[in-house]
Amino acid sequence: AYVNGRYQDMRDASVNIEDRGYQFADGVYEVCEVRTGKLVDMPRHLTRLQRSLRELRIALPMPLSSLAVILHEVVRRNRVRFGIVYLQISRGVARRDHGFPLKPVRPSVVVTARTIDPAKGAANAARGIKVITVPENRWPRVDIKSTALLPNVLAKQAAREAGAYEAWYVDGDGFVTEGSSSNAWIVTKEGRVVTRPDSSGILSGVTRGVLIEALEALQIRFEERPFTPAEAVDAAEAFITASSMIVMPVVTIDGHAIGSGKPGPVARRLREQFHRFSAFS
Ligand code: PLP
């Protein structure tokens, strides 16, 4: 792991107990896919990181180019060929007080990387995953990729306990916002791919952004609008996207089968084609 300027064995790596990331979840993070030892769409992740930091008024502790070097180095030291690299920046260490530290402190930087067997994702994608719905209960600024993830933790756990893989949040108007750690999509019976527009109520996924460009290139019709769980159940297909799972077909929502109850051809094609449209570094 990289921790505040040092590369350390994961077992010895630790942060100060007065780190504001630890005490207040006062920090932001990114998860970037690693594929054949390369980072996927890293510039987009770093751009989003910079935005999250700016929104929370946390200083960027070093140039993005230096962060990129550290990300590559942690991937290299862990010999990750397929997996993820995790980057977290907190406001830093200060005596516990809700308000920002009076004297500026240096933000804390942590980077870890781990291998994930690509066969696992492939098996899930071949089977298709189950989704449950839960009421949206997060703060209205989930466009900031903050480490404050308690509602997401509880939603994912609810999904697990229901034998599902992901939970979709449903807002007060009855529309799906996104998953606990993914963006939500459907494919209508007319073959139109639909996802909710960017707003402060969803995280603007890097995978989502790349996929929208891919849809255009592949000449697949695309529409940005909210949809309800009922529309999703009635759709031809549904899927979720995230850096750690690319395009993952959804086959049931709250126990109701979508289409044939098997992964659909559009989701399969998009999963196969995705990396043609992503940038490797
Ligand atoms: N929405 C939420 C709440 C997430 O946590 C994530 C990723 O972890 C996503 C969407 C997908 O974002 P990305 O494609 O950048 O991984």
203 touches ligand 1 (CB under 6 Å) = yes
- Mean pLDDT of the region 150-163: 98
> Looking at residue 196, what is its pLDDT?
98
> Looking at residue 30, what is its pLDDT?
98
Atom 2 in ligand 1: residue holding the nearest Cα: 181
Contacts of 149 (CB under 8 A, 6+ apart): 25
Write down the architecture of domain 121-276 according to CATH: Alpha-Beta Barrel (3.20)
> Looking at residue 33, what is its pLDDT?
98
100: helix, strand or coil: coil
> Looking at residue 95, what is its pLDDT?
97
Strands 38-39 and 27-35: antiparallel
- Could you give the CA distance from residue 62 to residue 18 in angstroms, rounded to a whole number? 22
- Could you give the CA distance from residue 23 to residue 45 in angstroms, rounded to a whole number? 25
Catalytic annotation, pick one of 130, 145, 189, 262: 145
Residues of the chain with CATH 3.30.470.10: 2-116
Token readout for 51 is 């935005």
Atom 4 in ligand 1: residue holding the nearest Cα: 181
User: In Å, how far from its chain's centre is CA 153?
Assistant: 13
Domain 2-116: which CATH number of 3.40.50.150, 3.30.470.10, 3.40.50.620, 3.40.50.2300: 3.30.470.10
- Among this protein's residues, is 145 annotated catalytic? yes
- Contact present, 167 and 179 (Cβ < 8 Å): yes
Atom 5 in ligand 1: residue holding the nearest Cα: 181
> Looking at residue 82, what is its pLDDT?
98
Q: Which H helix or E strand runs over 74?
A: helix 64-77
Closest atom, ligand 1, to C-alpha of 202: 1
- Mean pLDDT of the region 219-232: 98
* Best residue for ligand 1 mutational test, from 181, 240, 241 (most atoms within 8 Å of Cβ): 181
Give the number of other Cβ atoms within 10 Å of residue 103's Cβ: 6
The residue whose two tokens read 């998953």 is 179
The residue whose two tokens read 């942690």 is 74
Give the number of other Cβ atoms within 10 Å of residue 182's Cβ: 27
> Looking at residue 273, what is its pLDDT?
97
248 touches ligand 1 (CB under 6 Å) = no
Q: How confident is the model at residue 183 (pLDDT cuts 50, 70, 90)?
A: very high
Q: How confident is the model at residue 25 (pLDDT cuts 50, 70, 90)?
A: very high
- Could you give the CA distance from residue 250 to residue 239 in angstroms, rounded to a whole number? 5
> Looking at residue 281, what is its pLDDT?
98
267: helix, strand or coil: helix
The answer, as to whether pTM is greater than 0.90, is: yes
- Mean pLDDT of the region 147-159: 98
31 touches ligand 1 (CB under 6 Å) = yes
Residues of the chain with CATH 3.20.10.10: 121-276
* Best residue for ligand 1 mutational test, from 243, 247, 277 (most atoms within 8 Å of Cβ): 243
Give the 3-state secondary structure of 129-151: EEEEEEECCCCCCCCCCECCCHH
Atom 7 in ligand 1: residue holding the nearest Cα: 181
Scored b (16 or more CB within 10 A) or e, 123-141 reads: eebeebbbbbbbebebeee
69-114 confidence digits (pLDDT tens): 999 999 999 999 999 999 999 999 999 999 999 999 999 999 999 9
- Mean pLDDT of the region 145-172: 98
Atom 3 in ligand 1: residue holding the nearest Cα: 181
Scored b (16 or more CB within 10 A) or e, 144-173 reads: bbbbbbebbeebbeebeeeebbbbbbbeee
> Looking at residue 124, what is its pLDDT?
98
